[in-house]
């Protein structure tokens, strides 16, 4: 069981599969950022760490039951709420709302990409999404997109986020950039050597929360 909930009523969401199941070693590392059993370049290992971050944000718990060779069951426990609905937490404060600014979102993990796109769209931004650097440049060329902000993952198959940032900054010198990274020592060294446009590049750590996305995007767009 992952997380620590308080006594009380909970709503339970249960998801099961009939896949290959997991060993105890894999179960123990399941929610660690960047841990994946997939081949290199096939996944970021961020999906479940983001799920855990969101569940923890709502004071919830995740329970995992898996038998190697037979499949897995995930149960998400969220505190029940009997109060009248309040404004969604996905929405930032009014000062964080977008005004229709165009954001080019580049993320190779489909789950993370859809998550970020939905949050930004709900908060007033026009979002164009791509799964990699070459696709992002293709979106600019084919659709005539003129982004105010490039929101890109750092580590991606093929063209990485730093190379993409340089190419996009050449096309749009005034663009603001938000780079998502796990901030490993390698990431810091690579970023330092990249000589990115000074003052216009911002960073957000993965896994990020709903509020962090909205606040960092707003701060990046508002930077001089």
Domain of residue 65, CATH code: 3.30.565.10
Tens of pLDDT, residue by residue over 193-209, are 556 666 788 888 887 88
Q: What is the CA radius of gyration of the chain?
A: 19
Residue of higher predicted confidence among 43 and 181: 181
Distance between CA atoms of 60 and 54, rounded to whole angstroms? 9
Percent of the chain with pLDDT over 90: 40
Instruction: Yes or no: say if 213 and 204 are a contact pair by the CB < 8 Å rule.
Output: yes
pLDDT, residue 90, reads: 46
DSSP element (H, E) containing 12? strand 10-16
Tens of pLDDT, residue by residue over 49-77, are 778 877 877 788 999 999 888 899 999 99
Instruction: State the average pLDDT for the chain.
Output: 82
- Burial, 104: exposed, middle or buried (Cβ in 10 Å; 0-12, 13-18, 19+)? buried
Residue of higher predicted confidence among 91 and 29: 29
- Judgement on whether residues 70 and 145 belong to the same structural domain of the protein: no
- Judgement on whether residues 193 and 111 belong to the same structural domain of the protein: yes
pLDDT, residue 125, reads: 96
Q: Quick check: is 122 in a domain?
A: yes
Side-by-side strand order, sheet with 10-16: 10-16, 71-79, 61-67
What domain range is 28 assigned to?
A: 10-79
- The mean-pLDDT minimum among 17-21, 108-112, 190-194 falls in 190-194
- As a whole number, mean pLDDT of residues 88-100 equals 61
- Judgement on whether residues 136 and 212 belong to the same structural domain of the protein: yes
- Judgement on whether residues 45 and 72 belong to the same structural domain of the protein: yes
- The mean-pLDDT minimum among 82-86, 91-95, 170-174 falls in 91-95
pLDDT, residue 152, reads: 96
- Judgement on whether residues 52 and 103 belong to the same structural domain of the protein: no
With CA atoms as reference, report the closest residue to 216 among 110, 112, 133, 116. 116
């Amino acid at each position: 069981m992952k997380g620590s909930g308080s006594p009380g009523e909970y709503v339970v969401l249960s998801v099961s599969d009939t896949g290959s199941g997991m060993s105890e070693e894999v179960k123990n590392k399941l929610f660690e950022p960047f841990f994946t059993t997939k081949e290199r370049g096939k996944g970021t290992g961020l999906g479940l760490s983001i799920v855990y971050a969101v569940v923890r944000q709502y004071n919830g718990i995740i329970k995992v039951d898996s038998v190697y060779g037979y499949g897995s069951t995930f149960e998400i426990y969220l505190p029940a709420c009997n109060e009248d609905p309040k404004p969604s937490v996905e929405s930032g404060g009014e000062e964080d709302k977008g005004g229709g600014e165009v954001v080019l979102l580049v993320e190779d993990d489909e789950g993370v990409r859809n998550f970020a796109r939905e949050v930004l769209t709900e908060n007033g931004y026009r979002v164009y999404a791509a799964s990699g650097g070459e696709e992002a440049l293709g979106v600019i060329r084919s659709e005539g997109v003129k982004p105010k902000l490039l929101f890109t993952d750092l580590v991606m198959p093929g063209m990485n986020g730093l190379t993409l940032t340089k190419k996009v900054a050449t096309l749009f010198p005034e663009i603001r950039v938000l780079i998502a990274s796990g901030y490993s020592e390698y990431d810091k060294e690579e970023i330092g050597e990249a000589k990115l446009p000074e003052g216009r590049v911002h960073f957000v750590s993965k896994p990020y929360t709903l509020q962090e996305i909205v606040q960092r995007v707003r701060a990046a767009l508002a930077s001089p």
